[in-house]
Amino acid sequence: DFPMLLVSGENDPIGDMGKGIRKIASRLEKQNFSNITLQLYPHMRHEPIHEQNKQQVYQDIVDWINSNTAA
């Protein structure tokens, strides 16, 4: 199964405050994608990689890539 990482902020007005990205994850699961990781960041908006705590977001993405790829 193809691994997917969905990243957004909980305060994303474009994504309906996290509801949109949750709907996307749910739709993917209904299409039999089972290796989905949803990461919602509290107090962040639409582009977490541009927020104050972006280093944590980058680290989380790197960690996810490392855990989902062959060494």
Paired tokens of 51: 């927020």
Express each pLDDT in 8-66 by its tens digit: 999 999 999 999 999 999 999 999 999 999 999 999 999 999 999 999 999 999 999 99
- The residues facing 7 across adjacent strands are 39
Paired tokens of 59: 């680290």
pTM of the model: 0.89
Residues 6+ apart with CB under 8 A from 36: 3, 4, 6, 25, 28, 29
